[in-house]
Chain A
Amino acid sequence: MFSYFANPERFQNLAKWLAPPLMVFGLLGIAIGFGAGLFVVPVDYQQGEAVRMMYVHVPAAWLSSFAYAFMAVASLISFVWRHNLADAAAKAAAPLGAAFTFLALLTGALWGKPMWGAYWVWDARLTSMLVLFFLYLGYMAVRTIVPDEARAARLAAITAMVGAINLPIIKFSVDWWSSLHQSASVFRAGGSTIDSSMLWPLLVGALGYTALFGWLVLVQMQTELDQRHAVRLRRRMAGGRVSRPQAPQRSLDNA
Chain B
Amino acid sequence: MLELLDMGKYGVFIWSSYGASVLVIGGLIIRILQQRQKAKEILRDLEQQMQSTSPS
Interface residues of A (CB under 8 A from B): 30, 34, 38, 43, 48-50, 52-53, 56-57, 60, 95-96, 99, 102-103, 106-107, 110-111, 113-114, 212, 216, 219-220, 222-223, 226-227, 229-230, 233-234, 236-237
The answer on a CB contact under 8 Å between A99 and B28 is yes
A-B contact count (CB 8 A): 92
Given contacts A52-B7, A102-B24, A237-B50, contact A226 B17 (CB under 8 A): no
The answer on a CB contact under 8 Å between A216 and B18 is no
Cα of A53 to Cα of B33 in the assembled complex, Å: 28
Chain B residues touching A, range: 20 to 34
Given contacts A48-B8, A110-B17, A223-B35, contact A233 B50 (CB under 8 A): yes
| Complex contacts, B42 vs chain A, CB 8 Å | 226-227, 230
| Complex contacts, A111 vs chain B, CB 8 Å | 13, 17
- Least Cβ distance of A94 to chain B in Å? 12
The answer on a CB contact under 8 Å between A230 and B43 is yes
- Show 25 A/B contacts (Cβ-Cβ < 8 Å), sorted by A: A30-B25, A49-B8, A49-B11, A53-B17, A56-B18, A56-B20, A60-B21, A95-B28, A103-B21, A103-B25, A107-B17, A107-B20, A110-B20, A111-B13, A114-B10, A220-B36, A222-B39, A223-B32, A223-B39, A226-B43, A230-B39, A233-B46, A237-B46, A237-B50, A237-B53
